[in-house]
Amino acid sequence: AFFWLVSLLLASLIWFISVHLSDREDAKLQYGLLIFGAAVSVLLQEAFRFAYFKLLKKADEGLALISEDGRSPISLRQMAYVSGLSFGIISGVFSVINILVDSIGPGIVGIHGDSPYYFITSAFLTMALVLLHTFWGVIFFDACEKRRYWCLGLVVATHLLTSGLTFLNPWYEASLVPIFIITLCMGLWAFVTAGGSFRNILKCLSCKQEDDSRVMMYSALQVPLED
């Protein structure tokens, strides 16, 4: 979350400077600068995700060194999930909290001719964004780990595409539906990347007892009981 915030800070700094240096009155230029600012922000977010990956990798190595059995207590996949989730949460919260607060207060949605579905579509978009960040985190970390750079490029491209689709926004059919389709695809991709498969789902649903107790213990940050 901290890393996402720093990336947002830098992106706003760039946007702010560019706005101040440009002509305030020209609406088209301002809109163009906004698009530019959003694109820069997306690129910075991904860059900071990469930086976070590097940091976690170092920490992972350190933890593995000092632990008893040579493995770190948290696997890289769990870290990827957590990192994606935290990016998603902070991004979603920043996008939606002011809207939520306004939605409590008295008012009429869309009284000036905007869409009356503003709140509900914001809610859906935020949900999609949170899920997307989580999936991107998993895919991104896995791609960095296995050095599949085309995956990285694809993640960045879909992020840009998603952000760009929101620019079509009052036309919700064109923006919401593709975004949800992208979310589903990313979800499937992340699931496969994390090692899931159809058989795993079946096994999970049939409630077979797995030998996963050690994973649970590690993920709860507990010291295994020493004898």
Among 83, 158, 162, 193, binds other proteins (CB under 8 A): 162
Among 23, 68, 212, 227, binds other proteins (CB under 8 A): 68
CB nearer to other proteins: pick between 50 and 191: 50
Residue 173 Cβ vs other proteins, minimum distance, rounded to whole Å: 14
Residue 11 Cβ vs other proteins, minimum distance, rounded to whole Å: 7
CB nearer to other proteins: pick between 197 and 222: 222
CA 225 – CA 227 distance, rounded (Å): 6
Among 67, 110, 116, 184, binds other proteins (CB under 8 A): 67
Residue that the structure tokens 């939606």 belong to: 96
Q: Give the amino acid at 207.
A: C
> With binding defined as CB under 8 A, does residue 155 bind other proteins?
no
Among 95, 123, 124, 127, binds other proteins (CB under 8 A): 95
CA 77 – CA 176 distance, rounded (Å): 29
Contacts (CB under 8 A) with other proteins, residues 132-151 = none
CA 135 – CA 127 distance, rounded (Å): 12
CB nearer to other proteins: pick between 45 and 83: 45
> With binding defined as CB under 8 A, does residue 85 bind other proteins?
no
Q: DSSP assignment of 105-136, as one string? A: SS--TTTTSS-TTHHHHHHHHHHHHHHHHHHH
> With binding defined as CB under 8 A, does residue 194 bind other proteins?
no
CA atoms within 13 A on the CB side of 27: 0
Contacts (CB under 8 A) with other proteins, residues 100-129 = 101, 118, 121-122, 125-126, 129
Which residue stretches of the chain are H helix? 2-21, 27-66, 76-104, 118-146, 149-165, 172-193, 198-205, 213-219
CB atoms within 10 A of CB 205: 8
- Yes or no: say if 85 and 141 are a contact pair by the CB < 8 Å rule: no
> With binding defined as CB under 8 A, does residue 12 bind other proteins?
yes
State the helix-helix crossing angle for 149-165 and 172-193, rounded to 10 degrees: 160
Binding site for other proteins (CB under 8 A): 1-2, 5, 8-9, 11-13, 15-16, 19, 34, 37-38, 41-42, 45, 63, 66-68, 73, 90-91, 93-95, 97-99, 101, 118, 121-122, 125-126, 129, 162-163, 166-167, 169-170, 221, 223, 225-226
